[in-house]
Structure 1
Amino acid sequence: MALDHHVEQLLAGLQAQGLKSFENMSVDEARAVVSTFTGLQAPSEPVARIEDLHYVSDTTELPLRIHLPEGTGPRPVVLYFHGGGFVAGDLEVVDEPARALANETGTVVVTAAYRRAPEHRFPAAADDAWAALNWVAAHIAEHGGDPGNIVVMGDSAGGNLAAVTALRSRDQGGPALRGQVLIYPVIDPNAQLPSRIDYADGYLITAAALDWFWEQYLSAPEDADNPYAVPTRADRVDGLPPALILTTENEVTRDEAEQYGARLRAEGVDVRTVRFDGLVHGVYWMSGAVPRSRELRAAVADFVKSVVAPTSAA
């Protein structure tokens, strides 16, 4: 399918500005570029309350933000990990989509920051995501959430963290998650599938850029065999919570995400995989620039509402 018209316009504008591919940037440049995605977003919706707090992982205090919708609880909870190639991204770039999700689903949406590469390589981010889940399970009741009613979610590298957190929760007796939402997740650094070849030169993320992000994140080549870095390396994926996997047609990570979904389904996990033709990596953050980002957001909201238990009080 042809590129979405708004995506085409956006890419042409970025090219005219001389935007370099990520593998040709410094870490600071990559972080600065990712932070500009807030400029591609619609105005943020008001929510009933925002709480900025911290959790502790490996003696490090890290920020998290709680987005509370109108109404009383206890409310189901979505724990959302931002993307950015393990290198970039923060709570600000996902504040607008988190607010929208809280309002649409009536859930408490928690966004959790994590230590970023290359200053903090694997397993730092994975350990932080696990610590954030355990913080939510222990403390979200104090903030209007239901600790027995949690969905993990992430986009891009955050999708990887959501997937490995679901694995870890199964393996280590963590919370019984209601679901996992993986939005164009970065799954496997060694995947050599058609989309990695067909879209090697981009859009937005090239194959070389994807390799660069993985090089910043992994501490050593053998980390690629660790299922808490690369979920496809898990010996088994049965017993995981229902999954929604969203991919876009024109991107390098498409096939590895869809292949992971096929494996989950083959081992008995309830999986919904949806590909959005004409779109590219990153559109979940582009509510102002790409109107079809609403399609991804609607799919997420519908899935969340379908897997969480009803709110116990109106």
Structure 2
Amino acid sequence: MPIHHEIAKVLSTLPAPDGSPLDPAAMRAHEAAQVPPPEQRLPLPDVVDSLAETDAGPVPVRIYTPTGSAQHGLIIYFHGGAFFLGSLDTHDHVARALAKETGHTVVSVGYRLAPEAAFPAGLDDCYAVVRWAVEQEQLLGGGNLAIAGDSSGGNFVAAVAAKAHDDGFHGITHQILYYPSLDLDFDVDRYASLRDNAEGFGLETAGLAPFNAFYLDGGAEPANPLVSPLKREDLGGLPPALIITAEFDPLRDEGELYGQRLAEAGVEVSVSRYAGANHGFVQHFSWIPEFHKVFAETAEFLGGRPGL
């Protein structure tokens, strides 16, 4: 099917890339200006900003308590943004929807960003918050301990799951990856989707290298499986996975290959490709009913919790 007409309308308004150097400060300011004020956000009974005191140092977190009945567990959420963009605010609406539709408490992680914080600072923050959360009985409550992330946040999900496995920490019950970036080797011949969806769908293949340069230039080597989780040789023993991909995403095939390799390693996995969607649709277009169902699919994966 063609790209969704509502996405097409937005894409038609975007300026063509002009090759100018990326300015993280200006791009972050632009993102921040798009964040709606608190009174326009999905209401929840309790949303609290806090600091997680971890082995990696204090990490800002935002904790979302869902509406209604007893807690079903915890989702720790890592926002996307090519490792140098995104914040607790830019992805606040995603975390709110996750909490509401799954019935889980959500802890969104304000990890350190490139280029100011070199690899593995952001990854260390995400992993440290997972370990910290296990000690917070009022958060965990005996239910699921899931990790979720979109795009580069999905990269951190896969890397955190691997780190936890290698450390002998088996408390993570689920991994949820929305259109993840899992292979930072951007050779266009590696995946058909890098060519098929190269231009015109928001995220462009030619933009992958410059967008990720802030992370890679800070010591994140693409051959390292903690940087490119698809390069991990043995995926056995990892938590069950839900992988969401988008039809018109250059990164589509690497997400689906991760699912295939997990299944071959004996890991329970569900892979869903959203027709008509592009990279970033959970962040930017989940107001469209066909795409909002990603949260219901996430709830089902976590145990069938219906939306509230």
Same-fold call, TM > 0.5? Answer: yes
- What secondary structure sits across from 2:276 in the alignment? coil
Match in the other structure for 1:87:
84
The answer to whether the 8 Å contact 2:194/2:251 transfers is yes
Q: Residue 50 and residue 220 in structure 1: after superposition, are their counterparts in 2 closer, same or farther (change >3 A)?
A: closer
Q: Could you tell me how far 1:292 is from its partner in structure 2?
A: 2.9
Match in the other structure for 1:171:
166
Distance 1:87 1:142 in 2: 31
1:109 is matched with which residue: 77, 90, 106? 106
Distance 1:193 1:175 in 2: 32
Q: What letter matches 1:265 in structure 2?
A: A
The answer to whether the 8 Å contact 2:49/2:61 transfers is yes
The answer to whether the 8 Å contact 2:114/2:218 transfers is no
The answer to whether the 8 Å contact 1:238/1:264 transfers is yes
Deviations 1:253-306 (A, max 9, x none): 001111111111111111111111111011101247644321322222221234
1:137 is matched with which residue: 134, 152, 157? 134
1:7 aligns with 2:3: no
Using the TM superposition, name which of 200-209 and 159-168 deviates more: 200-209
Using the TM superposition, name which of 58-67 and 258-267 deviates more: 58-67
1:298 is matched with which residue: 290, 296, 299? 296
1:230 aligns with 2:228: yes
1:119 aligns with 2:116: yes
- What secondary structure sits across from 2:148 in the alignment? strand
2:157 is matched with which residue: 154, 157, 162? 162
Q: What letter matches 2:73 in structure 1?
A: P
Q: Residue 188 and residue 23 in structure 1: after superposition, are their counterparts in 2 closer, same or farther (change >3 A)?
A: farther
Taking the TM superposition and a 5 Å limit, the aligned residue runs for 1:1-314 are 1-13=1-13, 15=14, 18=15, 20=17, 24-35=21-32, 38=35, 43-56=40-53, 60-71=57-68, 73=70, 75-139=72-136, 141-143=137-139, 145-146=140-141, 149-191=144-186, 192-219=190-217, 223-287=221-285, 290-306=288-304
Deviations 1:34-60 (A, max 9, x none): 445546xx9522112112111245654
- Between Structure 1 and Structure 2, how many residues are aligned? 300
Match in the other structure for 1:312:
none
Distance 1:81 1:136 in 2: 14
Q: What letter matches 2:76 in structure 1?
A: L
Using the TM superposition, name which of 254-263 and 297-306 deviates more: 297-306
The answer to whether the 8 Å contact 1:21/1:204 transfers is no
Q: Could you tell me how far 1:213 is from its partner in structure 2?
A: 2.6
Q: What letter matches 1:193 in structure 2?
A: Y
Distance 2:178 2:20 in 1: 22
- Structure 2 residues not aligned, in runs of 5+: none
Using the TM superposition, name which of 195-204 and 114-123 deviates more: 195-204
Distance 1:77 1:45 in 2: 19
Provide the identity percentage. 34
Q: Residue 70 and residue 291 in structure 1: after superposition, are their counterparts in 2 closer, same or farther (change >3 A)?
A: closer
Taking structure 1 as the reference length, the TM-score comes to 0.87
Q: Residue 21 and residue 195 in structure 1: after superposition, are their counterparts in 2 closer, same or farther (change >3 A)?
A: farther
Q: What letter matches 1:86 in structure 2?
A: F
Taking structure 2 as the reference length, the TM-score comes to 0.89
Q: What letter matches 1:94 in structure 2?
A: H
Q: What letter matches 1:85 in structure 2?
A: A
Q: Residue 296 and residue 38 in structure 1: after superposition, are their counterparts in 2 closer, same or farther (change >3 A)?
A: farther
Distance 2:112 2:77 in 1: 15
Match in the other structure for 1:311:
none
Distance 1:54 1:111 in 2: 11
Distance 2:177 2:46 in 1: 26
Q: Could you tell me how far 1:147 is from its partner in structure 2?
A: 5.5
Higher relative contact order (CA 8 A, sep 6+): 1
Distance 2:19 2:152 in 1: 14
Say what the alpha-carbon RMSD is for the aligned residues: 2.4
Q: Residue 24 and residue 247 in structure 1: after superposition, are their counterparts in 2 closer, same or farther (change >3 A)?
A: farther
Q: What letter matches 2:207 in structure 1?
A: A
Distance 1:277 1:37 in 2: 26
- Structure 1 residues not aligned, in runs of 5+: 309-314
